[in-house]
Structure 1
Amino acid sequence: MNWIKHPALLKGQHVSLVPLNESHIAELVELAQDKSIWKHYAIDGSDKDKLKTSLEQGIADREGGTQYPFVIQLNENGQLIGSTRFLDIQENHQKLEIGWTWLHPDYWGTNINTECKYLLLTFCFEELQAKRVQLRTDENNLRSRKAIEKIGGQFEGILRNDMVRDNGTTRNSAYFSIIPEEWQQTKAQLQELLASE
């Protein structure tokens, strides 16, 4: 029995998070060709085969209950603009990670990422009753670190050599989390951000 009941569809004002399926893969692969998207990731998703493999693995891991991948879809026209997922799902400890979020550069600096995080976190704390939601990013990805702190993520530290990239180099990761005691304040912050963006 998987903690997240499939299909989980999260609908916001501007975007919907729709469960990833095989029919989305070709469009995502084409969308992900800009190398700047992947600067701080463990894989270079502009490599079509690598991204296709990762997306297929996400679908397989959803069946096993350890991941739950979504596509990010504009409500106004149904266009796909990126992807995100729940990772490291551990129902026995009531915790999971939000990650693998990427957007086409046309949508950087918009409220789309904030709305995605709002939808994901609301689901985690109000549907799943999660005890811990983790977020992590490359230690050097200052834009991402600031974005996580802006939405209420509490910095926990740096894990050294946390990941090995597909080019063989290692990545240190900055870890953040949100716990239930912080959720109402975080939710209010997110709502304020969305209203002002």
Structure 2
Amino acid sequence: MLFDFTQNYVLENERVILTPLSTNHRDDLKKVAKEALIWKYFLGNSNGYNKMDEYLANALQGRENSNSYSFTIFDKEREQYAGSTRFFDFSEEFNTVRMGYSWIGQKFWGTRLNKNCKYLLFEFAFDTMGFERIGLGAHSENIISIAAMKSLGCKQEGIIRNIFPSIDGEGRSDAILFGALKEEWYASLKDNLKNRL
């Protein structure tokens, strides 16, 4: 099945609902985005609080160009918007996609909200869309994000050396690459992740 960028895909379970990002989410997301720590390791146009209009325009342009598809994250338990995430780098030729540009407010950290989001995204990518692999990555200094990807069951696949400026402005930093395969999803990753929700 080909990914249809014109479709409004909604992913939902008992804890979270992921809906396509739109300009209507600007004010709700900006309330969360004011937390500076969220943006410490964020790549591209950072600081979504000061640049929320630019952030939204970039995300929506990606959908219009059929190269990325962003979701808002709504925590049903707290009845609050928590952040955003997206699919990007779609390859029809190789039937692969990447997942990233993810951020959630600090009060949602450690609440299993992220695991619920990732479960829905993996389930959609593998079960519904039939992708063969999902690629993920993180700044090498982003210990929390790296630990989260490992806890999801993603496999570390490599390092891109010196691709980023170091966070402290001294020198350069690496990117750590992760991946999850469809065969791994069906073999164990799906059940293991579901049991941790």
List aligned pairs for 1:26-37, cutoff 5 A.
26-37=27-38
Structure 2 counterpart SS, 1:92: coil
> Quick check: 135-144 or 36-45, which moved more?
36-45
Match of 1:193 among 189, 192, 196: 196
The aligned length equals 192
Cα distance 1:54–1:170, how it changes in 2: closer, same or farther (>3 A)? farther
The normalised TM-score by structure 1 is: 0.89
Cα distance 1:163–1:62, how it changes in 2: closer, same or farther (>3 A)? farther
Q: One-letter code of the match for 1:173?
A: A
Match of 1:173 among 165, 172, 175: 175
Q: One-letter code of the match for 2:133?
A: R
User: Unpaired segments of 5 or more residues in structure 1?
Assistant: none
User: 8 Å contact 2:164–2:174 — kept in the other structure?
Assistant: yes
User: 8 Å contact 2:41–2:167 — kept in the other structure?
Assistant: no
2:106 corresponds in structure 1 to 105
Task: Tell me by how many angstroms 1:160 deviates.
Answer: 1.7
- Distance (Å, rounded) in 2 between the aligned partners of 1:46 and 1:10: 23
Task: Tell me by how many angstroms 1:161 deviates.
Answer: 3.3
User: Unpaired segments of 5 or more residues in structure 2?
Assistant: none
Task: Tell me by how many angstroms 1:165 deviates.
Answer: 8.7
Task: Tell me by how many angstroms 1:119 deviates.
Answer: 0.2
How well do the aligned residues superpose, as a CA RMSD in angstroms? 2.2
Task: Tell me by how many angstroms 1:74 deviates.
Answer: 2.3
1:88 corresponds in structure 2 to 89
- Distance (Å, rounded) in 1 between the aligned partners of 2:71 and 2:37: 21
Higher fraction of helix? 1
2:74 corresponds in structure 1 to 73
2:146 corresponds in structure 1 to 145
In the alignment, structure 1 residue 9 sits paired with structure 2 residue 10: yes
Cα distance 1:80–1:47, how it changes in 2: closer, same or farther (>3 A)? closer
Cα distance 1:138–1:104, how it changes in 2: closer, same or farther (>3 A)? same
Cα distance 1:9–1:102, how it changes in 2: closer, same or farther (>3 A)? same
User: 8 Å contact 2:88–2:97 — kept in the other structure?
Assistant: yes
The normalised TM-score by structure 2 is: 0.89
> Quick check: 23-32 or 75-84, which moved more?
75-84
